[in-house]
Chain A
């Protein structure tokens, strides 16, 4: 039996988008392959690394653990939607702090950090670590990523 395709319509980065997906297609796969937004990355495909983080109906989630069909009518923000109208202060802060090495984890980090700052505008360093603990960086950029978020939040960026 071949998978039954259906159309899913949702709002992505403020625009209404429709895609044909099979029931087993994940939100990550739909966004990357069908909507051609390749900012979010696939790494572990099971919710352990955070490289696929997107904001779904206001909350950061691992898009590899959401079926595309679950997102009918939902609102999704991807990395492309953050700073679409010019880089955010958070993104500038990442650049200035030397937080970016290979860059593969960075879209997930920026999305998770953006969601964190929306919920907790002035986090402590501990809250930043906790809020980003679902995002892995093998290049080991944690200190600077943390500092970048603190600077963007108006903290002093001290590690």
Chain B
């Protein structure tokens, strides 16, 4: 295999290890003498902890120690990406179903479980905030301890943790021929990576070494350094490729707890969450979106007036960013003259929500697009036409003063419409829907890499992107191969160890192809320059007389392969070309989001359903996703990610929701009753199409991708159902029961 160019579907680097079972995930790594940690939590939501009796547990054979808040510093250390609100361990009260209040450390998994069962907790269940209405109710208890809110926080006496007011133009003086006013809800769903989270720690060299299934090792490293009062250079994070992340493994969760335990015991320890514990640990921010959308009679969008409530959970985690970044784009991909959005981030006694693929955009798209369909029906305008009319054209602003539309979004819409057979006659009980979703990519960040051309011409690339399924290793290898002319199999990638690999801001926001990709290209260019310089010196010619083409150096009338060129330059004493590459986005401190998005990820979904009108059950006959990706460096990788995103979108659209009871307990806790799509839930026909116009900021004109396919799933399928049944549904998921209830006029109650 020679140098793989851009746009080639090179086989997945790391694929062989995965298909043979050799790939070591965080739970597979051998950590000598590691003790097992298991968590103690209560079977209710908000509760006051009165007493924790660990005496029986501590006496169980194999149990080394049982930790509670008493074993940690007072006041309990807190951390979090936005607010330092999350305690290392529950102290005095539990604020969500599953919050750990004790940790049992034992020599075996079985002993740890026995220990957990033997811990006796006396507690009193307290009234809890379990819904959006609860959170907005002034009579509800406060979720956040008042002393944790800043003294100038006008909202401190409420469960509104943060409020945003977005807008432009003047909504109140904008005339509209049609005003559609509706309320939409998006449920609590959980990531359900097939790999449950793993957290391990060991004291090492005056500091600590961590193993975690973490997506952002450097952020974790910084958090731990700060919490443990260590220099960053003494905190080492091993980040094996995660078995699925989707945002749920982005930010620190129980690493601080495990690190402190390891340091206290002077021994390595490992905590592997059960699947149920992962449901309790991470979820998507649920929302209630009240939209008033004004249209002119021919279909032009004239204003959007919104009140959007997002329920963040017991600790803010990165949810404020999820909310601000998505709600800021209050009109999605459309050009609208007047917008007003009042947005609230609410605290609740529930699992803290965190980043989740789409980052607030699926919730926003559900509301914005459902409104478009409502208007189309009321004005008797075709759903494709109303969107063509309002989508921003390339170069047109969607938020005044901010980055303009950077893609031909109409093209994606038209392709989706054509593929789904829009306009063709429909069989009875069938319906079609089409939707467009927009998500902004990273606004700031930095990626660094080190590139070494070794003395035989092979290459070692050291880059901190996390490969959790999207094929980062392959993409980065392809870039090196393309730029240097080195065959892919002669490129090695070093990832996942902060002691060795330089800083990368995160693997999120579909940023890695653009940011790390650009850093890698930067490194390649510097390596080439360095090699040319050394070659020129060696041959006593000007550097302009040295020509590099991928895989070859020409000088003095001779042509050298890369290995020959290195040998030529270094001679008897071997050497390397070592360079760093970087890509920084400084952002803009004056911008509400810290900077304009580096690109927009836009995707169109079109769907056809066939409904059994007597039961509400329906089949997905056709499901099309079209992603505007700029350039697909590895088309197969991009397609597989887009298909995967589409399937994930089917999850929250058709079947996923965490159900809470009146005690704040997750009732469907576990794989038995929390349903995600399986082989048999796939649409009869599913197709993923990539639009490549080379209009992105990354290598070859690439944008990022990987989130688009789930942005617009819900409104497309809901619109298809409406066409088939005549009913409009504003809450998710669209289960057969919900569809049936809507058709038969039943009142199922609104979910929060």
Binding site for B on A (CB under 8 A): 2-3, 22, 24-25, 29, 32-33, 36-46, 48-49, 51, 78-80, 82-83, 87, 91, 94-96, 98-107, 110, 128-130, 132-133, 135-146, 159
A80 B195 Cβ-Cβ under 8 A: no
Q: Are B21 and A79 in contact (CB under 8 A)?
A: yes
Judging by beta carbons under 8 Å apart, are A102 and B194 in contact?
Answer: yes
- Known A98-B636, A100-B12, A100-B18; judge A140-B643 contact (CB<8 A): yes
A-B contacts besides A32-B28, A43-B671, A103-B15, 13 pairs, CB < 8 Å: A24-B110, A29-B109, A43-B196, A48-B670, A79-B20, A83-B20, A91-B20, A101-B644, A102-B195, A102-B241, A103-B241, A144-B643, A159-B686
Q: Which of A39, A87, A143 contacts B643 (CB 8 A)?
A: A143
A selection of 20 A-B contacts at a CB cut-off of 8 Å is: A38-B27, A43-B194, A44-B670, A82-B20, A83-B20, A87-B19, A87-B20, A96-B11, A98-B636, A103-B19, A103-B241, A103-B469, A110-B21, A129-B679, A138-B244, A139-B244, A141-B640, A142-B679, A143-B682, A143-B686
Shortest Cβ distance from residue A141 to the other chain B in the assembled complex, whole angstroms: 6
- Indicate if the CB atoms of B28 and A104 lie closer than 8 Å: no
Q: How far is the CB of A100 from chain B (nearest CB, A)?
A: 5
Residues in chain A near residue B62, CB distance under 8 A: 2
Distance in Å from the Cβ of B33 to the closest Cβ of chain A? 14
Q: Nearest CB to that of A159 among chain B residues?
A: B686
Q: What is the CB-to-nearest-CB distance from B419 to chain A, in angstroms, rounded to a whole number?
A: 15
Chain B 167-207 interface mask (CB, 8 Å, partner A; 1/0):
00000000000000000000000011111100000000000
Least Cβ–Cβ distance between B726 and chain A, in angstroms: 31
Residues of B with C-beta under 8 A to A138: 191-194, 244, 246, 648, 676
Assess whether B470 is interfacial by the CB under 8 Å rule.
yes
Partner of A141, one of B110, B468, B643, B678: B643
Cα A30 to Cα B332 in complex, Å, equals 52
B61 on interface, CB distance cutoff 8 Å: yes
Bound-state Cα–Cα, A5 to B17, Å: 34
Q: Cβ of B19 and Cβ of A91 under 8 Å apart?
A: yes
- Min CB distance B640 to A, Å, is 4
On chain B, the residues within 8 Å of A99 by CB distance are: 640
* Docked-complex contact A102 and B679, CB < 8 angstroms: no
- Residues in B neighbouring A98, C-beta threshold 8 A: 9, 12, 636-637, 639-640
- Digitize B1-31: 1 where CB-to-A-CB distance is under 8 Å, 0 elsewhere: 0000000010110111111111111011010
A133 near B680 with CB under 8 A, answer yes
A32 to B671, CA, bound (A): 22
**A residues within 8 A CB of B12?**
95, 98, 100
| B645 adjacent to chain A (CB < 8 Å) | yes
Using A104-B193, A143-B643 as known contacts, say yes or no to A42 and B27 having CB atoms under 8 A apart: yes
Chain B residues lying within 8 Å of A106, measured Cβ to Cβ, are 18-19
Contacts of B241 in A (CB 8 A): 102-103
Contacting residues, chain B, for A129 (C-beta < 8 A): 679-680, 682
**Chain B contact surface mostly:** loop
> CB-CB < 8 A to A100: which residues of B?
12, 15, 18-19
* A7–B644 CA distance with the chains assembled, in angstroms: 43
- Asked whether, in the complex, the Cβ of B194 is within 8 Å of the Cβ of A41, the reply is yes
Q: Are B243 and A104 neighbours in the complex by a CB distance under 8 Å?
A: yes
B275: Cβ under 8 A from any A Cβ = yes
B677 interface residue per 8 A CB criterion = yes
Choose from A32, A102, A136, A142 the contact partner of B469 (Cβ within 8 Å).
Answer: A102
The tally of residues in B whose CB lies under 8 Å from a CB in A reads: 62
- Decide: B470 and A101 in contact? CB cutoff 8 A: yes
A102 to B195, CA, bound (A): 9
The residue of chain A having its C-beta at the shortest distance from the C-beta of B60 within the complex is A2
Question: Which residues of B240-261 have CB atoms within 8 Å of chain A's CB atoms?
Answer: 241-246
Of all chain B residues, the one with the shortest Cβ separation from A128 is B679
A103:B679 contact, CB within 8 angstroms: no
Residues of A within 8 A of B27 (CB): 38, 41-42
**Chain B residues positioned under 8 Å from A110 (CB to CB):** 19, 21
Which of B17, B243, B637 has the largest number of chain A CB atoms within 10 A? B243
Contacts of A143 in B (CB 8 A): 643, 682, 686
Contact indicator A133/B678 (Cβ below 8 Å): yes
Q: Is the CB of A140 within 8 A of B644?
A: yes
A144 to B636, CA, bound (A): 10
- Contacting pair B672 A133 (CB below 8 A): no
User: Is B194 touching A38 in the complex (CB atoms < 8 A)?
Assistant: no
Closest 6 CB pairs of A and B: A39-B21, A140-B647, A104-B243, A103-B18, A102-B469, A101-B469
Point out the residues of chain A lying under 8 angstroms from B30, CB to CB. 36
Min Cβ gap A34→B in Å is: 11
Q: Is B598 an interface residue (CB 8 A)?
A: no
Q: Is B646 an interface residue (CB 8 A)?
A: yes
Given A43-B196, A103-B469, residue A38 in contact with residue B24 (CB < 8 A): yes
In the complex the two chains form, is B680's CB within 8 Å of A105's CB? no
Contact flag A139-B196 (CB < 8 Å), given A39-B22, A102-B242: no
Q: Does B714 contact A (CB under 8 A)?
A: no
Measured between C-beta atoms, what is the minimum distance from B199 to chain A in Å? 15
Q: Which of B62, B109, B274, B679 has the most CB of A within 10 A?
A: B679
The verdict on B327 contacting chain A, using a C-beta distance below 8 Å, is no
CA distance A72 to B547 in the complex (A): 68
The CA-CA distance from A39 to B22 in the complex, in Å, is 6
> Is B641 in the interface zone, CB < 8 Å from A?
yes
Residues of chain B in range 59-78 having any CB-CB distance to chain A below 8 Å: 61-62
Report whether A140 and B645 are in contact in the complex, using a CB–CB cutoff of 8 Å.
yes
Least distance between B58 CB and chain A CB atoms (Å) = 16
Residue of A nearest to B194 (CB): A104
- B682 / chain A contacts, CB cutoff of 8 Å: 129, 142-143
Residue of A nearest to B635 (CB): A98
CB atoms of A48 and B672 under 8 A apart: yes
CB pair A136 B28 closer than 8 Å: no
**B159 CB to nearest chain A CB (Å):** 32
